[in-house]
Amino acid sequence: MKLGKRLSRVAGGLALASGLLLAGASTSSATVGATDAVAGAGGASVAASGAARAHVRDVPETLRVPAGHQRGPVLSARGVQVYTCAGGGWTLLEPAATLWREGDRTKTPVALHSRGPVWVSTTDGSAVTATAVANSPREGAVPELLLKAADHRGTGVFSEVSYIQRLETRGGVAPAGTCADGAQTAVPYSATYVFHTPAA
């Protein structure tokens, strides 16, 4: 898929999520509001330098990157997990999030994250898709993940990424209960993404 189409899909996902949040789609609006508050509280801690040290030190054993890889960019993220209703239950449709360099108080976007899952740099156009190979449950939040790169596009910050860790997740859990088929809802979440590349 061409980069332009990837960017358009990310933008579309963010627009869809924004519309769902504004409309308070489905009966999960109370859940969305609650998780938004959780995500807001988590954003400040993700940006703190102390948290940056903590998430590297406290990575669960199952999510540790294999030997032979080195840590690269660490990016904070905030966005939504978009769910669609099928068969009376909520199923993940896609994530839609913006990422900025951890510790950047201006939260200037440097990447976009969407269905694939794919991460696209907004500075050099490089992209990486990845597949989850391990997960670790997190109370009241989507699980932390270890993902292995599956494909790359372009040349830049993401072109050599080998592994990605999704850590310090907050919010993003699908609403409880049944739903009407075809309905969609967006649940706010935040996370820290740690990118790794092969060691030189």
Look at the block and give the residue holding tokens 């080998």: 162
Q: Provide the number of structural domains found in the chain.
A: 1
Q: What distance lies between CA 70 and its chain's CA centroid?
A: 21
pLDDT tens-digit profile of 144-194?
A: 999 999 999 999 999 999 999 999 999 999 999 999 999 999 999 999 999
Task: Inform me whether the pLDDT recorded for 49 exceeds 70.
Answer: no
* Beta strand segments in 37-153, E: 69-86, 89-101, 109-114, 118-121, 127-138, 141-153
pLDDT value at residue 25: 38
pTM, to two decimals: 0.77
pLDDT of residue 42 exceeding 70: no
- What pLDDT, on a 0 to 100 scale, did the predictor assign at position 21? 47
Q: What is the mean pLDDT of residues 57-67?
A: 91
Domain limits for position 155: 3-198
